[in-house]
Every structure is written in C-alpha cells, then in structure tokens.
C-alpha cells in the first residue's frame, strides 16, 4: 500500500459533540490495542471509552489523523502538556488498514496545529 496523505490536527472542542467522530476514534483505538496487545490483555479489554475520547476532544488533548481528501479520521494520539516545554503522548492508534504505511510515524513527527 502506498503511504496515504494525511493531515494531523487537534480538532475544535466542538467536535467532541460529533457522535460519529467519537465512535470512530473509540473503535480505532480499541481495535488497535486489541490487535497490538493480544498477548498482554484479556480479549474483552477496551483501551478507551466514548466518554474518555469526548473528554480528550473537549480538552484539546487529542490530535486526530485525517485521510485526505475526504477528511476521514484514521487515527489519533493523546497529547498532554506538563509544562510549556514538556509533554507526553500516548494512546497512539491507527486504523489497521493504514498500519505499516508510515502514517503513525508521520502523525507523531508532523507539527500539530489547532
């Protein structure tokens, strides 16, 4: 598969009200973690919930990777600023269709604009 064209951005807080977006991101994260953690977690393990994704979107703590040109959400990464110069990220997840294409690496490497 050729590397997809993606844009990574922190969506506006109002996107937390978009139930389709929240559901899609929740499914992507849980699917990615089920596959990647199959030898660590029990089969029913869920990495996140719609409530948590909604909170992260509301707080501007979730960067979303959008496939272009249709702006389809295909992944995300949680970002938490500890200080103006220090932060952490986690919950990096990508739709399995795009794994192995370099899209997740690019999601972390690109500048994230709000």
pLDDT digits 0-9 by tens, 60-81: 999 999 999 999 999 999 999 8
What residues form DSSP beta bridges with 77?
Answer: 63
CB burial of residue 94 (10 Å; 0-12, 13-18, 19+)? buried
Q: Does domain 6-95 correspond to CATH entry 3.40.50.2300?
A: no
What residues form DSSP beta bridges with 76?
Answer: 64, 93
Bigger pLDDT: 43 vs 6 = 6
Distance, CA of 16 to CA of 76 (rounded, Å): 14
pTM as predicted: 0.81
Orientation angle between helical segments 50-58 and 19-36, nearest 10 degrees: 120
Buried (b) or exposed (e) across 49-85, using 16+ Cβ within 10 A? eeebbbebbeeebbbbbbbeeeeebbbbbbbeeeeee
Domain boundaries, the chain: 6-95
Average pLDDT, the chain: 85
What does DSSP assign to residue 4? P
């Amino acid at each position: 598969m050729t590397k997809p064209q993606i844009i990574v951005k922190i969506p506006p807080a109002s996107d937390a009200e978009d139930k389709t977006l929240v559901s899609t991101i929740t499914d992507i994260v849980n699917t990615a973690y089920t596959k990647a953690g199959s030898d660590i977690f029990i089969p029913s393990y869920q990495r996140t919930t719609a409530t948590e994704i909604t909170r992260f979107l509301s707080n501007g703590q979730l960067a979303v990777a959008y496939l272009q040109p249709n702006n389809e959400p295909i992944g995300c990464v949680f970002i938490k600023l500890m200080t103006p110069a220090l932060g952490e990220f986690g919950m990096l997840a990508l739709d399995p269709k795009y794994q192995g294409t370099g899209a997740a690496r690019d999601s972390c490497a690109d500048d994230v604009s709000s």
